């Protein structure tokens, strides 16, 4: 039976201008409510009232609960034991008013869990954006685990980028010792970490001590090795100096005397004896980041300009710039291009065209000057053949019509020869974009780019911004490769 409490104000509807205000009023007052929730566990439980129609309008889960084939026919309260009362209250507030007051990381995680459970993606997006804005070395590991739990790949990429760029600060923060084993394993699998291997090892030791406590185990070398599990095999002991290894890993108690001796022998004389399992055979130090490009270059048929990474080149390889087709973006559109290279290179970003100026621009307000630019919003990412996103960017800028824009990824990525990669562009602004004929293969000095056999050889990306690595060239600078 619907609840009909008296309102504090007669004809309150006439005093509230917007529907969100009127909906908020009936939520707060409980007027006409027809469902009751008991939210939270026994130690923290609250009763809340709602309106089935409003809830079903916002959530397919509530729709199925109240109007689906399995809907309950009774008016008994609905128990929600896995959501905190404050989080559910915030969820209701958002459903009724489109308003949410996000305050802290922990609060946002609780609200996002509820939003995921009841399939309200717009609220999930707001929670993700809050965490995105608040990311720093002190909470990035928790944010990474949040993103993994709620399957937010863009946030995952952003968190890992921060971990890679500020590893030393991440390891020093007390929150690092609270991460789960899966997160530790992922960090140790990274090729790029801005910290020495010795500091990384010592941080793992501290984490293992805390993990023993969490598992109610005695803090001992044997149990530390047990909780580290396969993470121990991801430490690159062979990159340490003999002194570093002898003064820390060898005396930690986690390694047997025979293991320590064998590893030390291979540090001093690589390959002198077989590395025992499960230890890593990698003797190459992790990269602290891509090698910065030189400050000046000299190369025929190129012109240089300056990006935040330094001087970059644009190689005018092919094309006359003739437009082959027009992409009329009426809604969110995804575009992708697959490619491979025959040398090691570092991918920095892409160049792509801006929108064509609308022919009717300025007709609505003829007395006002015509705007020569517009606000662009693009999401771009680079992924490997397994679909793993290696880097990405949210590009927001005011750009000129009928021009080009440089979309630079948040983190440069080294790619390997003969593997297929994909660059994806998500256009979020309505408008008309020119498209150009692309090539099958294009060579830049000693590097050849090959492009996948897409349905059409007409593309949206005009150029790939890349740099040569020491593995492919010791002198070639960062440059544009244009197709």
Q: Give DSSP secondary structure letters for 268-281.
A: HSTTSSPPPTTS--
For 243-284, the pLDDT digits (tens) are 999 999 999 999 999 999 999 999 988 888 888 889 999 999
State whether 445 and 351 are in the same domain.
yes
Q: Give the total number of structural domains in the chain.
A: 3
List the domain range (segments joined by +) for residue 478: 302-357+373-482
Q: Which of 50, 109, 39, 93 is nearest to 75 (CA)?
A: 50
User: Over 60: is that where the pLDDT of 383 sits?
Assistant: yes
For 87-105, the pLDDT digits (tens) are 999 999 999 999 999 988 8
Cα distance from N-terminal residue to C-terminal residue, the chain: 68
User: Region 368-375: what's the mean pLDDT?
Assistant: 76
Which range among 90-104, 336-350, 366-380 has the greatest average pLDDT?
A: 90-104
State whether 312 and 242 are in the same domain.
no
Which range among 128-132, 389-393, 417-421 has the greatest average pLDDT?
A: 417-421
Pair of tokens at residue 360: 């009717």
User: Over 70: is that where the pLDDT of 313 sits?
Assistant: no
In the listed set 82, 99, 133, which residue is the last one of a domain according to the structure?
133
State whether 238 and 332 are in the same domain.
no
Contact, 24 vs 89, CB < 8 A? no
State whether 188 and 161 are in the same domain.
yes
In the listed set 133, 156, 179, which residue is the last one of a domain according to the structure?
133
Backbone dihedral angles phi then psi of residue 12, each to the nearest 5 degrees = -60, -25
In a domain, 99, yes or no: yes
State whether 123 and 181 are in the same domain.
no
In a domain, 297, yes or no: no
The strand pairing partners of 435, in sequence order, are 325
- Containing 202, the helix (H) or strand (E) segment is helix 197-214
State whether 145 and 211 are in the same domain.
yes
User: Over 70: is that where the pLDDT of 411 sits?
Assistant: yes
State whether 116 and 153 are in the same domain.
no
Average model confidence (pLDDT) across the chain:
81
- Listed in sequence order, the residues at least 6 apart from 470 whose beta carbon sits closer than 8 Å to its beta carbon are 291
State whether 323 and 435 are in the same domain.
yes
pLDDT at 320: 52
CA 67/CA 61 separation, integer angstroms:
10
Only one residue has tokens 């996948």, namely: 452
pLDDT at 473: 40
> Residue 338 is part of a domain; what is its CATH number?
2.60.120.820
CA 200/CA 188 separation, integer angstroms:
8
In a domain, 126, yes or no: yes
State whether 208 and 114 are in the same domain.
no
State whether 111 and 45 are in the same domain.
yes
In the listed set 133, 167, 197, which residue is the last one of a domain according to the structure?
133
In a domain, 368, yes or no: no
For 427-445, the pLDDT digits (tens) are 888 889 988 777 777 777 6
CA 250/CA 405 separation, integer angstroms:
53
For 73-89, the pLDDT digits (tens) are 677 899 999 899 999 99
pLDDT at 472: 41
Confidence at 469, pLDDT banded by 50, 70, 90: low
pLDDT at 161: 85
Contact, 346 vs 467, CB < 8 A? yes
> Residue 209 is part of a domain; what is its CATH number?
1.25.40
How much is the pTM? 0.54
In a domain, 471, yes or no: yes
The strand pairing partners of 287, in sequence order, are 192
In a domain, 17, yes or no: yes
pLDDT at 106: 87
State whether 324 and 416 are in the same domain.
yes
Backbone dihedral angles phi then psi of residue 97, each to the nearest 5 degrees = -130, -5
pLDDT at 296: 30
In a domain, 79, yes or no: yes
User: Over 70: is that where the pLDDT of 480 sits?
Assistant: no
State whether 423 and 470 are in the same domain.
yes
């Amino acid at each position: 039976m619907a609840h009909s409490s008296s309102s504090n104000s007669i004809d309150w509807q006439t005093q509230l201008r917007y529907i969100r205000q009127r909906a908020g009023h009936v939520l707060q007052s409980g007027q006409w409510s027809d469902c009751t929730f008991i939210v939270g566990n026994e130690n923290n439980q609250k009763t809340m009232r709602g309106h089935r129609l409003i809830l079903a309008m916002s959530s397919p889960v509530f729709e199925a609960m109240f109007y689906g084939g399995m809907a309950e026919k009774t008016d008994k309260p609905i128990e929600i034991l896995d959501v905190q009362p404050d989080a559910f209250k915030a969820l209701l507030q958002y459903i009724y008013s489109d308003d949410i007051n996000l305050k802290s990381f922990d609060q946002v995680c609780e609200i996002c869990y509820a939003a995921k459970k009841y399939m309200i993606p717009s609220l999930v997006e707001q929670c993700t954006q809050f965490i995105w804005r608040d990311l720093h070395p002190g909470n990035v590991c928790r944010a990474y685990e949040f993103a993994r739990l709620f399957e937010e790949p863009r946030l995952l990429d952003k968190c890992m980028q921060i971990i890679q760029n500020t590893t030393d600060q991440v390891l020093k923060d007390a929150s690092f010792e609270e991460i789960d084993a899966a997160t530790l394993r992922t960090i140790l699998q990274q090729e790029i970490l801005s910290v020495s291997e010795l500091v990384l090892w010592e941080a793992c030791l501290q984490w293992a001590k805390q993990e023993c406590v969490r598992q109610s185990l005695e803090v001992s070398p044997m149990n530390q090795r047990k909780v580290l599990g396969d993470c121990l095999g991801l430490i690159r002991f062979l990159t340490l100096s003999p002194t570093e290894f002898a003064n820390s890993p060898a005396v930690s108690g986690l390694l047997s005397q025979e293991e320590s001796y064998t590893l030390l022998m291979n540090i001093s004389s690589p390959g002198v004896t077989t590395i025992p399992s499960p230890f890593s055979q990698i003797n190459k130090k992790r990269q602290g980041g891509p090698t910065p490009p030189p400050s000046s270059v000299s190369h025929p048929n190129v012109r240089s300009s300056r990006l935040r990474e330094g001087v970059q080149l644009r190689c005018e390889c092919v094309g006359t710039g003739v437009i082959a087709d027009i992409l009329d973006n009426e809604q969110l559109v995804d575009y992708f291009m697959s490619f491979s290279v025959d040398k090691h290179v570092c991918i920095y970003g892409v160049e792509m065209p801006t929108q064509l100026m609308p022919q009717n621009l300025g007709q609505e307000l003829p007395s006002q000057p015509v705007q020569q630019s517009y606000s662009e919003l693009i999401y771009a990412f680079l992924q490997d053949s397994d679909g793993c996103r290696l880097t990405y960017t949210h590009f927001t800028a005011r750009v000129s019509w009928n021009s080009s824009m440089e979309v630079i990824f948040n983190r440069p990525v080294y790619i390997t020869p003969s593997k297929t990669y994909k660059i994806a562009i998500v256009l979020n602004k309505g408008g008309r974009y020119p498209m150009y004929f692309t090539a099958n293969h294009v060579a830049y000095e000693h590097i050849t780019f090959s492009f996948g056999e897409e349905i059409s050889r007409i593309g949206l990306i005009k150029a790939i911004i890349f740099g040569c690595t020491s593995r492919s060239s010791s002198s070639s600078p960062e440059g544009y490769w244009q197709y």
